[in-house]
Homo-oligomer: A and B are copies of this chain.
């Protein structure tokens, strides 16, 4: 078992990453308030660097390495936002990052990682091949591995989203976020429960990737069974650190349909004129489908990112 991060770690993370991250704005929408009969606040991490909250955790994890550790190299495996996040975080400090990516990764994502100066190693497009190549790389180079979520400093970094959110809107009744590997929701739990113990923290998952729901029900980590949800950021299973935190703090975990995810993604584009990726629409779908007590509440919605393939929109 790895170390569980504390709220003090979140506060240190906030100071550490502040000069390098965007303090993202909180948006409101009269239309959504009217529809939900509640007051919604949207923390726009789609405006974060690399287009997703992932940059916070990656920065914190990379910046806590001392030069000696970092100079051995930094490695991670990801085909998504974490890859770009680690690449940019490493470049910010002048370290060399290596990203293991599946060889069928979208060219736009490969290009982005290259733009941030990271080295890419391509592997077969399976989770096993990815892990195998990563372990082999660590064995050979002694590089430091930045896990995408099951890493205390990554979780502490993600906790800075909730800190900024509650600093700006202190009287939220509920805070909702999507659950993939659980890094964001864990950081949110640690932070929000410390700042406002009465707040409810609710995790949201696609029905097609309901592993966290099943894990909490069974009491042991359950694998993701399918990888076909359009919420491509949420196709991962929990880790032991994130699962431990979620078991202790999370108030509820709800699931939503693919149809609702697509509907709310499109609706945010149309009504709020901002680009969010499918994963970001998951908590909002839970809210609009009244999967928890919504009416009359002040609800903080974390919009996690805005990296979308504009050639392949789910409604076209």
Q: Is the CB of B273 within 8 A of A47?
A: yes
The chain A residues found within 8 Å of chain B, CB to CB, are 25, 46-47, 51, 266, 269-270, 273-276, 306, 310-311, 313, 315-316
Contact partner of A315 (CB less than 8 A), chosen from B269, B273, B311, B315, is B311
Query: Once bound together, how far apart are the Cα atoms of A46 and B270, in whole Å?
Result: 11
Complex Cα distance A276/B315, Å?
19
Q: Is the CB of A310 within 8 A of B274?
A: no
Q: Could you say which residues of chain B place their CB within 8 Å of the CB of A275?
A: 269, 273-275
A273 vs B51: C-alpha distance in the bound complex, in angstroms?
A: 8
On whether the beta carbons of A273 and B46 are closer than 8 Å, the reply is yes
Closest 8 CB pairs of A and B: A273-B306, A273-B275, A46-B273, A274-B274, A269-B275, A47-B273, A273-B274, A269-B310
Task: Give the residues in chain B near A47, CB-CB below 8 Å.
Answer: 273
**Nearest B residue to A44 by beta-carbon distance?**
B273
- A303 CB to closest chain B CB, in angstroms? 10
Which residue on chain B has the smallest CB distance to residue A45? B273
Measured CB to CB, the nearest residue on chain B to A48 is B273
Please indicate the chain B residues that have their CB under 8 angstroms from the CB of A266 in the complex. 310
How far is B51's CA from A266's CA once the two chains are assembled, in angstroms? Answer: 15
Q: How far is the CA of A311 from the CA of B262 in the complex (A)?
A: 13
Interface centre among A47, A269, A274, A310 (most CB of B within 10 A): A274
Q: Complex formed: what's the CA distance from A18 to B310 in Å? A: 36
Question: Which chain B residues lie closer than 8 Å to A311 at the CB level?
Answer: 315-316
